[in-house]
Structures are given as C-alpha cells and as structure tokens.
Amino acid sequence: MSSASVQIIQAVMLLLFAPLAAGFVSTCKARLQNRRGAGVLQPWRNLRKLFKKEVVMAHHASWVFRFAPYIVFTATLMAASVVPALLVDTPLSLTADVIALVALLALARFFLALAGMDIGTAFGGMGASREMTFSALAEPAMLMSIFVLSLSAHSTNLTTMITHTLNSPFALHPSLAFAMVAMVMIAVAENGRIPIDNPTTHLELTMIHEAMILEYSGRHLALLEWAAMVKLLLFSTLIVDLFIPWGMTAQADLTGVVIALGLWVVKVAGLLFVLAVFETSMAKLRLFEVPEYLSGAFVISFLGLLSYYMLEVGA
C-alpha cells in the first residue's frame, strides 16, 4: 500500500462518512431524548433526495450565488484531504499547515456569506452578518490554541505535531488541557452547533447558518449541506489528531491502516457522542452572549499559553 493510496482512501472516507457522522449525532440525540430517531442513514437519504431535485434560482441571482456551493464544497473537501486521519505522513499534508487549513475554511465561509447577500433578502444578509462576525471573534482563540500546541512541537505542520505527540512520553500537560477545551469550544461554534447555532432550526430569528442557505435548492443545497457535514467530521478528526493521536500509523501497511481506521472510528464516535450529550443538555445561548462564549475560549487558550511558559518550559 502506498501512502498516496491511503491519502485517497482517507479523503474519500471523510467525504462518505461525513453524512454518517451527522446521522450518528442526531440518532444519539434522539435516543437521549427518548425518541427513536430517523436512523444513521437519514442524512444520506436527504442528500440523495436533494441531488435528484431540480434547482430553482431567484431571477437576479448572479454567478456568485450559482458557483458558491461548488467553491464551498471544494474548499472544505480540500481542507479535509489535508488532515491526516489514518496515516501520519500523507502526501497532501504538506500542502497546508494548520493556519492554511483554517484559511481554507475561511474561504468557504467567505463565499457562503456572499451567496447569502446575493439574493437580497433580509434573512440572507442577517445570516451573513452574524456568521462573519462570530467567526471573526472565534479566530483569535483558534489561533491561540494552535499556538499553544505548536510551542512544544515547534511546528504548525500537522504531521510534525502528531509525530511529536506520538513520540513524546505520556505526561499530563496542563497547557494541552486548556488548549483542548478552547479548541472544542471553537469547533462547536465553527460548526454552528448548540449552544451557538442550531443546525436543525429553520426559520427562526436567531438562526445563522441556515439563514444564509435559505434560498438554495436541489444539488446546490445538497453540496452546501454536505460541506457542513464534512466540516463537522473534519473538526472532529482535527481534535483527535492534535490531542489523542495514538493509534495512527506511521507506515502505510495494511494492518496498520486497518487498526488506525478502527481506532479513528471509535475516537471520533466518542467525540460526537459527547457533542450529542452536550447538545441535549444545553439550551442555545442568546445571540449577544455568543461573544462572551468566544472570548471565554480565548482566555482559556491564553491561560494555556501562560501555563506552558510557567509550568512546562524546561520541565
């Protein structure tokens, strides 16, 4: 098995498993709420239905609206293929480090927000304004937690960071704990989950993501929904990579890849289950409390930085 083939398997896997991950979260939530739920495969059925449906666009929608779904989808997929999931050193992981990865997702968001503005409805502009505002406030916290992680590895390359964690002896690092909490908080916000935004909402005055894509239909909507699912799986994989990478294989041999795949599924499923528990037990925040949540994440990551310098340097 060459590393290139593992790379392809990995990218396709993230793409195909993404709807399953979304279905898994909603099934877990349904069970936790004493409902049966629609099953893990429901997002796949939704996508299939949307791909078959006809696209209808508003009269004055421009090419920005028309091509935004493709740009959003490819930028997200590009970001997903950079993240190592099974193999530590994949050919594409050199293409973008963590900062470039965040920037690729920002590119997707930029076009999504523009598409929201293109139709000229109040909802589209509202969603674009909120999405861009809150993601901007999330950015410093995201960078700061990446900073904390890169301090001990002296690198922002995912491969090097993972290798560093795998090779260093297991020890409790308070800075990593802070960084992890901050990163999880940011991941929740970036993916528009409760308590920031509710992905199952529709036509609610506090919606963010759904407000931007309200005007989309057919395959365009399918691509945007799919991109959102890939993004959720991407962030889960990223957190797994950065904080609990054990089990990932350094060589591209069959047994290693299979073991890595099994462990990856378990770890991501665990993380998503925690998300479902939180989403069930928590209410959505008021819109103007979101900045406080995000600045809280920033403060936590900054504490991580300070604790690294105070407790871990030279230790």
Partner 1 sequence: MNTAIMLALAACSTALVAALAPLILRQPVAQRTGLSLLLAVTGLLAMIAGIYGLVLGGDALILPLGLPWLPMHVRLDALASFFCLVIGSLLFPVAIYSQGYLRDEPRLTPLAIFMPLFVLGMLGVVLSDDAFTFMLFWELMSVSSYFLVTFKHENLENRKAGYIYLVMAHLAGLLILGSFAVLYAAAGSFEFSAMRDATISPFWASAAFLLAGFGFGTKAGVVPLHGWLPEAHPVAPSNVSALMSGIMLKVAIFGFIRVCWDLMGPGDFQWWWGALVLAAGSSSAITGVLMALQQHDLKRLLAYHSIENIGIILIGLGLSMLLAHFGHPMLAALGLVAALYHTINHALFKGLLFMGAGAVLHSTGTRDMESMGGLIHRMPWTAALFLVACLSISALPPFNGFVSEWLTFQTALMAPQLGGALLTAIVPFSAAMLALAGALAATCFVKVFGVVFLGHARTEVAASAHEVDNWMKVGMAIPAVFCLLLGLLPVLFIPLMDSVPELLLHASLAGSIHAHGWLWLTPIDIAHSSYSAPIVLIGMLVLGGLAFWLLHPKGRTIRRSVMWSCGNPHVNARMQYNATSFSQPLRRIFAGIYRPEEDLNIERSRHKLLADNVRYAVHIGDMAVQYLYQPIGKLTLYAAKLLQHEHQRGIHAYLAYTFITILFLLAVYI
Binding positions for partner 1, 132-171, rule CB under 8 A: 132-144, 147, 150, 154-157, 160
- Fill in the per-residue mask, 202 to 241: x = in contact with partner 1 (CB under 8 A), - = not in contact: -x----------xx---x---x------------------
Q: Rounded to the nearest whole angstrom, what is the least distance from the CB of residue 91 to partner 1 in the complex? A: 10
| Contacting range for partner 1; rule: CB under 8 A; set: 178-186, 193-201, 247-255, 285-293 | 285-293
Site membership for partner 1, residue 104 (CB under 8 A):
yes
| Contacting range for partner 1; rule: CB under 8 A; set: 26-34, 38-46, 131-139, 182-190 | 131-139
Please enumerate in sequence order all residues whose Cβ is within 8 A of that of 56, keeping only pairs 6 or more positions apart, or say none: 217, 218
- When binding is defined by CB under 8 A, the residue of 129, 152, 206, 280 that contacts partner 1 is 129
For residues 56-88, b (16+ Cβ closer than 10 Å) or e, as one string?
ebeeebeeebeebbebbbebbbbbbbbbbbbbb
| Contacting range for partner 1; rule: CB under 8 A; set: 64-72, 167-175, 249-257, 261-269 | 64-72
Task: Tell me which residue has tokens 């090779």.
Answer: 167
| Contacting range for partner 1; rule: CB under 8 A; set: 112-120, 185-193, 233-241, 263-271 | 112-120
Residue 10: phi and psi, rounded to 5, are -60, -45
Site membership for partner 1, residue 285 (CB under 8 A):
no
Q: Cis (ω within 30 of 0) for the bond into 43?
A: no
| Contacting range for partner 1; rule: CB under 8 A; set: 129-137, 175-183, 228-236, 243-251 | 129-137
Site membership for partner 1, residue 298 (CB under 8 A):
yes
CA distance 194 to 240: 20
Residue 87: phi and psi, rounded to 5, are -100, 135
Site membership for partner 1, residue 291 (CB under 8 A):
yes
Residue 249: phi and psi, rounded to 5, are -95, 145
Please count the CA atoms within 13 angstroms of the CA of 188 that sit on its side-chain side: 25
CA distance 245 to 263: 10
In this complex, which beta carbon is closest to partner 1, that of residue 117 or of residue 244? 117
- When binding is defined by CB under 8 A, the residue of 14, 113, 224, 239 that contacts partner 1 is 113
In this complex, which beta carbon is closest to partner 1, that of residue 89 or of residue 279? 89
Which residues within the stretch 178-207 sit at the binding site for partner 1 (CB under 8 A)? Answer: 203
Site membership for partner 1, residue 3 (CB under 8 A):
no
Please enumerate in sequence order all residues whose Cβ is within 8 A of that of 254, keeping only pairs 6 or more positions apart, or say none: 1
**How many angstroms separate the first and last alpha carbons of the chain?**
40
